[in-house]
Structure 1
Amino acid sequence: MLQSVARFVRTLAAVAGLVLAAATPSAAQQDTGTAYSPEELVNAGNQFFGQISAGLATVVEKAVADYGQPNGYILGQEGTGAIFGGLRYGEGTLYTRNAGTHRVFWQGPTLGFDIGADGARTMILVYELPSVASIFRRYAGVDGSAYIVGGFGMTVLRSGNSVLVPVRSGVGARLGINVGYLKFTPEPTWNPF
């Protein structure tokens, strides 16, 4: 039994390493005509989250330092639950400078050592998105959580050249690490796969 658990942990660590290697920071985007500045992102986030937060500013500054200025962002809410395997469902609005606003939905499974549930307001920074239609696909990543109430957290998801950086602030209890993906769709669905 212990050998099976150890083998599972090694496999999970190997998958997490591959996903993290794929999510290494890309070069900063140079097109500032369609990109959002850190100040614009923090202002939009503060209006959305309902408070001025040093935590939000710190997370946004870290994302911009690592990935440059995003060419879009999503404001929405999501709910998650996990007992080793889990599910995440969310909905929000994608904001872009050159293509307007669009309603989006996301859902996805997770697998790992992860127990708990939470509800969160979410700001997703969107990098290297060539068109609105290209958001509708799967983005893989690794997530680690350890909290009983709330706070701001950041993860990185990647699909091809596009990178999504979800910034979450929510309430719940969560402990663990998991590997999973988010699938974005133009309509709501209960199917996370």
Structure 2
Amino acid sequence: MRSRSTFLAAAAFAALVGALPLQVSAQSVHRAYASSPGNPNSFNSNELVESGHQFFGSASRGIALALQEAIRRWGEPNGYILGQEASGAFFGGLRYGEGKLFTRNAGDRRIFWQGPSLGFDVGGDGARTMMLVYNMPFTEALYKRFVGIDGSAYFIGGFGVTAVAADEMIVVPIRAGVGARLGVNVGYLKFTSEPTWNPF
């Protein structure tokens, strides 16, 4: 996975200009779409915090704060992903990740994501990532491009939190250790069932 991240923005920057779709406005994604509290197919805050504690370890207080804020904004997810990713940028950038998708009624499965980004940023990083998945009708529906929601990026408890959307689905990545690069996330994430070098 880390070797994939070394293929960075030399080719991506030129492609990004024509490849990036328009950002989704935060006002166009309403919390009413999110799973309602108590839904047997959703995950409550206690379950998510416990998984986050085990996954992030010493950053447990920060993940609890980030999860509570995400649930306050978007409600309870009906799926979540735990994984790792690597990214790099030279104004234009690339991000690659892999992890496991957890659901109530469809089991667990491996999942991969890739995506370009565009911003005033230079550097690289690797991070553990927890992604909350909302309004997923079936697992294969996740295999598409999710565009960043304008105005959704924020920091809490040492974690960077953003949101991306496709149709009525929302994915909220919560990343440790990438606060300085949160601003580059003008782009999208593409989820796939198999790893690929193609971020578009």
- TM-score, normalised relative to structure 1: 0.81
Q: Kindly provide the CA deviation profile for residues 47-101 of structure 1, in whole angstroms up to 9, marking residues without a partner as x.
A: 0112352211111011111111100000000001111100000000000010000
Bigger helix fraction: 2
Asked whether 1:169 is paired with 2:171, we answer: no
Match of 1:135 among 125, 139, 142: 142
Instruction: Quote the residue 2:119 is aligned against.
Output: 112
Q: Distance in 1 between matches of 2:182 and 2:138?
A: 36
8 Å CA contact 2:116, 2:188 repeated in 1: yes
Instruction: Quote the residue 1:188 is aligned against.
Output: 195
Match of 2:40 among 33, 42, 46: 33
Alpha-carbon distance change, 112 to 57 in structure 1, aligned in 2, over 3 angstroms: same
* RMSD (Å) for aligned C-alpha atoms: 2.4
Instruction: Quote the residue 1:58 is aligned against.
Output: 65
Alpha-carbon distance change, 103 to 134 in structure 1, aligned in 2, over 3 angstroms: same
Which 5+ residue runs of structure 1 have no aligned equivalent?
Answer: 1-14
Question: Matches of residues 10-89 of structure 1 in structure 2 within 5 Å?
Answer: 18-30=24-36, 32-51=39-58, 53-89=60-96
8 Å CA contact 2:77, 2:134 repeated in 1: yes
- The structure with the larger Rg is 1
Alpha-carbon distance change, 59 to 79 in structure 1, aligned in 2, over 3 angstroms: same
Bigger strand fraction: 1
Q: Distance in 2 between matches of 1:23 and 1:56?
A: 24
Q: Distance in 1 between matches of 2:178 and 2:132?
A: 21
* TM superposition shift of 1:174: 3.5
8 Å CA contact 2:33, 2:135 repeated in 1: no
Q: Distance in 2 between matches of 1:71 and 1:108?
A: 23
**Which sits farther off after the overlay, 115-124 or 20-29?**
20-29
Supply the AA of the counterpart residue of 1:64.
Answer: I
Which 5+ residue runs of structure 2 have no aligned equivalent?
Answer: 1-21
Secondary structure, counterpart of 2:35 in structure 1: coil
